[in-house]
Amino acid sequence: MNILQQTFSTTYQSAPFNAIKNEDFLPAITQLIEDTKAEIDSITSNPESATFENTIEALEFTGQQLDRVTSIFFNLNSAETNDEIQKIAQEVSPLLSEFGNDITLNAELFKRVKAVYDIKDTLDLNEEQSMLLEKKYKSFSRNGANLPEDKKTILRTLDKELSKLKLSFGENVLAETNAFEMHITEEDDLTGLPEGAKEAARQLAESKDKEGWLITLDYPSYIPFMTYAENRELRKKLAIAFGKKGFHNDKLDNQDIVLQIAKKRHERANLLGYKTHADFVLEERMAKTPDTVLNFLNDLLDKAKPAALKEFKTLEAFAKELDNIDQLEKWDSAYYAEKLKQKLFDLDDEKLKPYFKLEHVIAGAFTIAEKLYGLHFEEIDTIDKYHPEVLTYKVTDSDGQLVAVYYADFFPRPGKRNGAWMTVYKPQFIKNGDNSRPHISIVCNFTKPTKSKPSLLTFNEVTTLFHEFGHALHGMLANTTYPSLSGTSVYWDFVELPSQVMENWCYEKDALELFARHYETGELIPMELVSKIKESATFNEGMQTLRQISFGLLDMSWHGQDPSAITNVKAQELKAFESTKLYPDVAENCMSTSFSHIFQGGYSSGYYSYKWAEVLDADAFEYFKEQGIFNKDVATKFKTYVLSQGGTVDPMTLYKKFRGKEPQPEALLKRAGLIK
CA 576/CA 172 separation, integer angstroms: 24
| Phi, psi torsion values for 441, nearest 5 degrees | -135, 145
HEC sequence for 446-498: CCCCCCCCCCECCHHHHHHHHHHHHHHHHHHCCCCCCHHHCCCCCCCCCCHHH
CA 170/CA 166 separation, integer angstroms: 6
CA 481/CA 486 separation, integer angstroms: 8
SS3 state at 285 = coil
The DSSP string of 230-268 is --HHHHHHHHHHHHTTT-SSSTT--HHHHHHHHHHHHHH
Identity of the residue numbered 454: P
Q: Give the Cβ contact number of residue 155 at 10 Å.
A: 19
Q: Give the Cβ contact number of residue 107 at 10 Å.
A: 11
SS3 state at 391 = strand
SS3 state at 128 = helix
The DSSP string of 551-577 is HHHHHHHHHSS--TT---HHHHHHHHH
| Nearest alpha carbon to residue 612 among 495, 469, 487 | 495
Buried b (16+ CB within 10 A) or exposed e, 289-327: ebeebbebbeebbebbbebbeebbeebbebbeeeeebee
Whether 468 is catalytic is yes
Whole-Å CA distances, 351 to 102, 333, 346, 356, 455: 57, 21, 10, 10, 15
In the set 60, 80, 338, 468, the catalytic residue is 468
Residue pair 481/429 in contact (Cβ under 8 Å)? The answer is yes
Strands 213-215 and 182-184: antiparallel
| Nearest alpha carbon to residue 605 among 274, 168, 133 | 274
Identity of the residue numbered 307: A
Which sequence positions are flagged as catalytic? Answer: 468
